[in-house]
Chain A
Amino acid sequence: MRRHLAATAILWAALTAVGFWAAVRADVLPSAAAREAVIIDDAFRLLMLLGVPVFTFVLAVLLYSLARFRVRGEPQQDGPPLFGRGAVPWIWLLVTSALAVYVIFNPGLRGLAELRAHPTADLVVRVEGSRWLWKFSYPQHGVTAREVVLPVNRRVRFDVTATDVLHSFWIPAFRVKIDAVPGMVTHVLVTPTATGSFEDNFHLRLQCAELCGLGHHLMRSPVRVVEPAEFDAWVAGLTPP
């Protein structure tokens, strides 16, 4: 028994090392273009690091059991009667509970607090979803637009609504999402941190993420993040509605 446990522990350690290496190397999230994206990606990576040893623990026990406890043909005798009535289930309960409670606080509640830390916005953009296109207006400037242009490193609040059915406001490069609901105005706050445009980064798009019927997959608009001066020039060139 002790020998089996030791061998499984070594296998677990080895698999975990490989798992950590793979999790760090294969960091496949798209590049983060907003302050919120960094918070969310950090939460993602932390959960990966916590998930790897859990995954490899089960995998190690499974693989070791398959290799060592497998019987060829019909078993002629029974295994040792282990009932699990001792301390092992209590330890299991304690460890899994501690893990579950830990992830509630970190990255859960901590990430939420960071996302909500700066509720005041420099710029407000109104977004209205209708089947199957998005309309934008910049109430501080009194203009409407057919694309989303944002100044870099400025806090932006999107006020989102819909006219017909549910839609959902999602910009993959910013990682944030909020539904557009008829009769309601929902909000999402982001601070873009890198300039760029849909043409060279397809994650800079406003994508409808809530099934809205026939044209759902086409309901997307390009997003462009520019220097503040360029933004001022762009917004000045728009005509009031």
Chain B
Amino acid sequence: MPLVKGVVFGIAGFLLGAGATMLAAGALGRAAPPLEAAISIGYLLGLAGWLLGVGGWDYWARGWFGLPLRVSRVHGRQRYFHFTTDHKVIGVQYLVTFVILFLLAGLFAMLMRVELAAPGQTIMTAGRYTHVMSLHGIIMIAVSVATIIGGLGNFAVPLLIGADDMAFPRLNALSYWLVPPVAVLLVATFFTGGFDTGWTAYPPLSVVNATGQVLFNLAVITFGLSSIVGGLNFLATIVRLRAPGMTWGRLPVFVWSIFAASLISLTATQFLAAALLMVLLDRTAGMAFFAAARGGAPLLYQHVFWFYSHPAVYIMILPAFGIALEVLTHFSRKPLYAYRWVVAGFLGIVALSFLVWAHHLYTSGMPDYLHGPFMATTELISIPTGLVFLSALGTIWMGRLWLRTPMLFALGFLFNFLIGGITGIFNADVPTDLHLQDTYFVVSHFHYTLMGGMIFGLLAGVYYWFPKITGRMYDERLGRLHFWWMFVSYNATFLPMFWLGMFGMNRRIADYPVPLGPVNLFVSIAAFLLGSSFLVFVYNMVWSWARGPQAAGNPWQARTLEWQVPSPPPEGNFPAPPQVTGHPYDYGVPGAVHAVVAVGGAAGQDSGQEDER
């Protein structure tokens, strides 16, 4: 069992590293045991042990020493628990892992709403509340970064471009197997005093708080590594492995969105790791990057942190744009409107995303002269984003709208992200942001972009590709029930939060002034309804995957390549590289052909049992 081997190697590595650090400190005559340094160094060796044990040694590292690789062929469900290199298996591993993490962090949100349902302490102490809130934040950030790219991107991108796998299949497996240690570290913060800084980990607080902070920093740095490796892999895949005839001008829009997001993953994530590493060094090595009394600068952190973390919101939302546009065009039976414009919009967003970070710092005490320039760049980013709306509206206009569940979620995405975008202007504008910064207005704004946007986009993609991934069809009536239940309760939860923020409720607080009680109670009730809508989703997914009716190869009559092979696609995807001859979205164009796919890929054929051997 590779999982057991990974855990054993990991624990052995941790004990070795931590023990050696303690012994070295003892030999050097340190009075207090350097607990946090021991954890950090132990973790490094533990991570290496885990990766080698879980498959890195057998599949990869043996080759470095001239030994033959030990690649075991596993089939059926077993594959999902192994170090496999098939992009479709890795996609499912990502998807299931992160949906579970999403539900867990959603439960944390429910706990927060119980606490906030009434003024005063309800079920948690302030310390516990802050820890739960911080965990909710960082897990949801990870979900937003990785679920679409790692899950649906991994599954669909090679298929969409006519490739047989990712460019670096083992690197792909590595980026997934880096994730379990992240989850373990975050859960382990419960046993090390928690961390109370939110997901932003601003020093000096993050330098002086409980040891849980060290675990948080190590977790996020590890996750960043996974993200960088993934970004590199997608760029190489999209640049190098497109099928013959799949020119840049014929690339499906979802692939473009992953390409754009990967540009940011590859080039910006290092800044987050650097910021967190500096905090770690302040704590464990006595450095003073952020200690004002010893010449450090607390504000430095915020600049480095947001230099990644603002572009990161586009890592989260660009793939959701891609899914929404992909679904809108197939379910409107029309070409994607203004295709070249929307690609230019994606790339414009990437470029501008690096120039707006300090809009998170209007009230931080940074020099006043920076306010104007950062306000300007931030407002300008609404122009390329607006092109996404042009494309979406132009695509549905005069279309033949087929309102299946994926389409409902794509339309819901448009509505929610519109509110998220317009309220973003209020945060970008310095005068209004002086009041709104760090209030529930901001909380609501980013939930409208990430949950109302990214999660709705994710769900559109999950329902859209469910038959392709599983070979079975989800229950349409439950899908629609999920959409309407979630859409209504979602808006009922987050619309009133704008008012709460304007009316003086700051964020990240376990308690609030009594006059804000009634609206908070309303928000909490709506939030419970929102949370319960996911019961429908989970039931539908689990039941349909196990018992749902067999899905046809192309149930949506879509034109893109992944639908021209059986559901689920066989290992290696295509019997021979497809020949791409036209644009993927030429609905309504007489005689238009996207690609010629060799035998074995006829639409309507079905081999749902193939992977159950």
Contact = CB atoms under 8 A, between A and B. Distances in A.
Interface in B331-378: 332-335, 337-341, 363-365, 368, 371-372, 375-376
Interface residues of B, number: 89
Nearest to B419: A55
Interface in B80-129: 126-127
Contacts of B446: none
Given A47-B429, A181-B364, A213-B205, A93 B438 contact: no
Interface stretch (A79-87, A136-144, A145-153, A229-237): A79-87
B393 A28 contact: no
A178 B368 CA distance: 12
Given A62-B415, A81-B586, A89-B341, A70 B401 contact: yes
A160 B396 CA distance: 53
Interface string B499-543: 100111010111111110000000000000000000000000000
A92 B299 CA distance: 39
Nearest to B299: A181
Contacts of B204: 164-166, 182
A219 to B, nearest CB: 10
A109 B197 CA distance: 33
A210 B297 CA distance: 17
Interface string B425-447: 11001111011011100000000
Interface stretch (B235-243, B266-274, B276-284, B381-389): B381-389
Contacts, number: 271
Given A40-B434, A108-B379, A96 B386 contact: yes
Given A43-B431, A209-B437, A71 B513 contact: no
B190 interface: no
A216 B130 contact: yes
B292 A183 contact: yes
A241 interface: no
B587 interface: yes
A59 B438 CA distance: 29
A93 B104 CA distance: 42
A209 B197 contact: no
Interface string B178-200: 00000000000000000011100
B431 A115 contact: yes
B598 interface: no
B415 A211 contact: no
A117 interface: no
A4 B340 CA distance: 25
Interface string A40-60: 100110010001001100110
A224 interface: no
A61 interface: yes
Interface in A132-189: 164-166, 168, 170, 172, 175-179, 181-184, 186
Contacts of A178: 363, 365
A149 B48 CA distance: 59
B208 A164 contact: yes
Interface string B132-147: 0000000000000000
Contacts of A100: 379-380, 382-383
Interface in A81-119: 81-85, 88-89, 92-93, 96-97, 99-101, 103-104, 107-109, 111-112, 115-116
Contacts of A62: 393, 396, 411, 414-415
A233 to B, nearest CB: 29
Given A28-B503, A177-B437, A177-B438, A108 B333 contact: no
A89 B432 contact: no
Contact of A30 (B337, B430, B503, B511): B503
- The interface centre, meaning the residue of B432, B499, B512, B586 with most chain A CB atoms within 10 A of its CB, is B432
A21 interface: no
B394 A217 contact: no
Contacts of A6: none
Contacts of B389: 58
A170 B515 CA distance: 18
Contacts of A109: 372, 375
A30 B376 CA distance: 28
A168 B393 CA distance: 42
Contact of A170 (B338, B396, B438): B438
Contacts of B506: 170, 207-209
Given A74-B557, A100-B379, A181 B298 contact: yes
Interface residues of A, number: 84
Contacts of A93: 341, 383, 386-387
Contacts of A214: 126-127, 130, 196
A241 B552 CA distance: 81
A164 B386 CA distance: 43
Interface in B198-234: 198, 202-205, 208-209
Given A66-B401, A182-B204, A182-B292, A29 B502 contact: yes
B599 interface: no
A204 to B, nearest CB: 10
Contacts of B398: 1, 4, 69, 79-80, 82
Contacts of A218: 126, 511
Contacts of A54: 422
Given A43-B432, A176-B434, A182-B298, A82 B422 contact: no
Contact of B430 (A71, A80, A112, A217): A112
A112 B431 contact: yes
Nearest to A42: B431
Contacts of A182: 204, 292-293, 298
Contact of A28 (B365, B439, B502): B502
A28 B516 CA distance: 13
A228 interface: no
B376 A217 contact: no
Nearest to A214: B127
Contacts of A30: 502-504
Given A66-B401, A84-B337, 5 more contacts: A70-B403, A100-B382, A178-B365, A215-B126, A218-B511
Nearest 10 A-B pairs (CB), nearest first?
Answer: A183-B292, A84-B338, A111-B431, A78-B588, A217-B509, A172-B504, A75-B400, A186-B365, A175-B435, A79-B334
Interface of A: 1, 4, 28-30, 36-37, 39-40, 43-44, 47, 51, 54-55, 58-59, 61-62, 65-66, 69-71, 74-75, 77-85, 88-89, 92-93, 96-97, 99-101, 103-104, 107-109, 111-112, 115-116, 164-166, 168, 170, 172, 175-179, 181-184, 186, 202-203, 205, 207-218
